[in-house]
Structure 1
């Protein structure tokens, strides 16, 4: 996306720093920092903060059941994010663009747990939302992952995808 943030948001910045830490190899520290932020935000705090944090925290769990819990929180929070709040954070973003990724992650977690009917429901929701994805590398990455997970569901394959997000090895 070519849009720029509207203004500073210390919570989103702290989330971003923790996510970066997790991606470069210190998943345990990143999880601790994100859990601390989660406690500060609270379950009724800013839905954008809750959605973003839960979405990224799920990626820091190898266990699909733990990831599922956080991805469910992310989807629930997304339902409370308003376009106005999102635009105040980052001009040009739309909440509809969040849903394909959120449903993809839920589908992948359910698939890895062997709950193929639930996985199919979420992968279908991800496919329905895919037209909201941006053109370019990010959108292409998600569209490819949606197809990979759909195929794995069809095959009843529960192995982790090599392209799945997660802590650095």
Structure 2
């Protein structure tokens, strides 16, 4: 009987000890606050973009953009850094929307595949189960894919965003 009483007492003291551990009180102790500040200061705000990404970010437009006032169709490609991947870019494609409904819309991301003098910076992604390539060289962007139809679903009327785009100096006018 005394053995059962001892075990019960031991169990009860253990439970009370665990419950006591959950009680937390706020402290104005500067040592505790500085420890918290040190921990939060080590968390990075965002991933810094690689030099390749910094070079290619910008707006690219199709040939018809310069003649948009005359009613020509055009497509714009906005390239931005991907905050979650230092070698990644986010790509948004928009067609004119000022006179009619946009014919092309695409939002995706790509990762740096490589760089050399002959090809410039090449990024890749998988689009509709096909390897897509985004090649940046001499202020031009070339969008291509292993499957020539992979980008067709992003445009109406049989169009595609595959093609060549010129880097735009100045601001982009989507309307």
TM above 0.5: no
Q: Which TM-score bucket, shorter chain as reference?
A: under 0.3
- Normalising by the residue count of structure 1, what TM-score does the alignment of the two structures yield? 0.24
Greater percentage in strand: 2
Structure of higher CA gyration radius: 2
- Normalising by the residue count of structure 2, what TM-score does the alignment of the two structures yield? 0.24
Greater percentage in helix: 1
